[in-house]
Every structure is written in structure tokens, then in C-alpha cells.
Amino acid sequence: MITRAPSRPLLAAVLLSVAAHAALLAGSWLTLPASPPDPQPLSVRLEPLPPPPVPPAPPAVSRRPPAAPARHIAVAPRPAPRPAPVEVPVFAEPALPAAPEPAMTPAPEPAVVASAPATFRMPEPPPVPSFPRKGNITYLLTLGPDQTPVGRTVQTWEFEGDQYQLGSQSESTGLIEMFRPHRFHYLSKGTVSDQGLRPERFLASVKRGSRTEESLVQFNWDEHSVRLGRIPQQTTVPLPDGSQDVISFMYHLALSPPAPGRIQFPFTRGPRLEMASFDVLPHEMIETPLGRLRTVPVVQVREPGSESLAIWLATEYRNLPVRIRFYNRDGEASGEQLVSEIRVSDQ
């Protein structure tokens, strides 16, 4: 048997292991650490923490973006030195550049614009502007129940500011004028109020044949009295509100057409003042030389022993009276005026 000698590497490893174990057993190089010193006593004290710093508030502009444009608009129309009428510059605001957002327009501005005209507006004028300032109506005049043509009537009106003047002249022609002339002249002057026409002076002259009667009526609205009657016998009586004469009431109704039904107001032809009742009837179509007209009949309620009349207001002609019919004391038709021409002017 052949025995092999151990290899060198193996022998070196054995020797190194032996040396290491011998050193470990000797313990000459291994020293234990010294014990640590006794710990010092620890002192602890609790104190409240300081309050956290308050973050700075964001600027008002960042939270309300529209505030910047609002200050710009307020500076322009309302400078500090201007006195009380600062609302007037507000009317110049539409010329400024438009705000980028609707919310940027200050809410009070529209109210100021609306209140300024109401504050400085003049009192509303009476309803004359909706009515021709001046004009005349020509009528064919007939007499009797058979409506015999005898002449013509011309009514005129003129408004100047708050003053009015109304006239009516009826004259017979032909044989009637030669043998039994008829002339009816009326003149009414007064003012226009919120309630309509307020006559101040009324003159009536009526001629039938050789007999002529003249009456004068003077309305005193301040003293609520009226002096009236045939000339020269006259008397003074109390003046009720809303009193009208035989001419003014036609245009009073034309300015303020009444609703269907019965209306009442004090009424005079010259000799006396009495309460008159009128029935406003449904619309009626009538034949005239101007064609077929749509009208509102207003018929006076007849009183025994008294004259009465009826008028037809043309709705397509500013409610002008286009037919006027007269009744005698017996209730019979004594005459009629039917429109043949209308002329108006605002000059």
C-alpha cells in the first residue's frame, strides 16, 4: 500500500486554526469594556406651546375680483367735489367700456337712472297732445222730423297749452234764410285739467225767425259758483264739479270716451244749470257723406218739458261728434247735423 503525504495547503490551514484557538484561550488581547458611569438625573418642565402664527388674510381684491372695476366706475361719475346732484353723471356711464362680466355692474346704478327722470320730470300734461291742436267739422244742417236741408254748421276747436276755445255756427240758406232764418252761435272757452275740459265762459245766441235769445254763463271754479241766464236777467247759483256746457261736453267726451252705461253731469245751454243723464249705447254704424262710420251713440235721457240731444262719436276719427240730433220739448226730432267734412291741424 502506498501512503500519500498531506498537501501543503491543508497543513497550513491546520496550523492557522491551532494558533487561533490558542490565542482565544489565552485571552490576553480581549478586554471587557468599563462599566458606564451612573446616569445624571433628568429635569423635565412642561410649558404651553406658543400659538401658531396667524397667516395673513388674503387681500380683499383676491376674494372679490369685481371690486376693482366697481371702484373705477364710482370715481368717474361721482367726483368728491360735486354737490348733491351726483346722479346726473350716471347717464354718461353707457359710454364707458363694458365690464367683462355682468356681475361687475353696480346694482344701485339702474335705480339711480330710473329715479332721476321721475325726480325732475314736469307734471304730465293734459290729454290734448293725443288730440289735434286745431280743426273744424262741417255738417249738413236739416230741420224737422223729415230732415229738410236748410243750411250748414261749422264747429271749430283750438287748444293752446292748457287753454281751449270751441265754437259752433249754424246758418240757414236758401228760402229758409229768406223767410225764417235760423242762426245758432255758441262759444265756449276754458282750461284743460286732469278731469277733462273745465269751461270758464260760455256764450249762446239763438235766432229763430225774428226772435233772438242770448245767454251768458260765467264759471267761477275758485268760488264754486256760476253766473248764468239770459241777458240781462242773470242769477248766481252753486257750481258743481264736472259742469259742462252744450258745446264743451262733446269734446270732453271725445278726449275721454265713456264706457257703455249711464253717465251724469251738470249741464247748461245758457239759461239754467241742471243735472243731465246720458246713455252710452253700443257701437253703431251710420251712413255719412264721408262713408260708413263706426260710432258710439250718447243719448240724453229726456225729461218732460225739456229739450234734449244725442251725439254720435266716430271711433275712427278721434271720437269727434259726427252726428248731432236735437229734440224739442215734446221729444220730437227738431234738427240734425251730419258730418260732411273734417279738417285737422297740429300747427
Looking at per-residue confidence, does 182 or 8 come out higher?
A: 182
**pLDDT for the residue numbered 194:** 84
- pLDDT above 60 for 304: yes
Q: Where are the beta strands (DSSP E) in the chain?
A: 134-143, 148-160, 163-172, 182-193, 196-208, 211-220, 225-228, 235-238, 244-245, 261-268, 273-280, 284-288, 291-300, 308-314, 320-327, 333-345
**pLDDT for the residue numbered 95:** 45
Cell numbers standing for residue 195: 278731469
Distance from C-alpha of 159 to C-alpha of 124, rounded to nearest angstrom = 16
- Find all residues with CB under 8 Å of 210, minimum gap 6, and list them: none
What is the β-pairing status of strands 244-245 and 261-268?
Answer: parallel
Cell numbers standing for residue 234: 242773470
- pLDDT above 80 for 207: yes
pLDDT (average), residues 131-140: 94
Chain centre to alpha carbon of residue 12: 126
pLDDT (average), residues 231-250: 94
Average predicted confidence (pLDDT) for the chain:
76
169, 153 Cβ separation under 8 angstroms? yes
Which amino acid does the sequence have at 2? I
Distance from C-alpha of 40 to C-alpha of 145, rounded to nearest angstrom = 144
**pLDDT for the residue numbered 30:** 42
Most confident range, picked from 8-12, 64-68, 256-260? 256-260
pLDDT (average), residues 201-208: 93
What is the β-pairing status of strands 182-193 and 163-172?
Answer: antiparallel
**pLDDT for the residue numbered 58:** 54
Percent of the chain at pLDDT > 70 equals 63
**pLDDT for the residue numbered 195:** 84
**pLDDT for the residue numbered 174:** 81
**Residue holding cell 247759483?**
237
pTM above 0.85, yes or no: no
pLDDT (average), residues 186-191: 97
Distance from C-alpha of 249 to C-alpha of 270, rounded to nearest angstrom = 13
- pLDDT above 60 for 18: no
Instruction: Kindly compute the dihedral angle of the four CA atoms of residues 315, 317, 320, 322, in this order, to the nearest 10 degrees.
Output: -90
Residue-range domain boundaries for the chain: 128-345
In tens, the pLDDT along 80-134 reads: 444 444 343 333 334 444 444 545 555 544 443 433 344 444 445 444 547 889 9
Rg of the chain (C-alpha set): 55
Looking at per-residue confidence, does 4 or 146 come out higher?
A: 146
Q: In which band, very low, low, confident or very high, does the pLDDT at 311 lie, cut at 50, 70 and 90?
A: very high
Q: In which band, very low, low, confident or very high, does the pLDDT at 19 lie, cut at 50, 70 and 90?
A: low
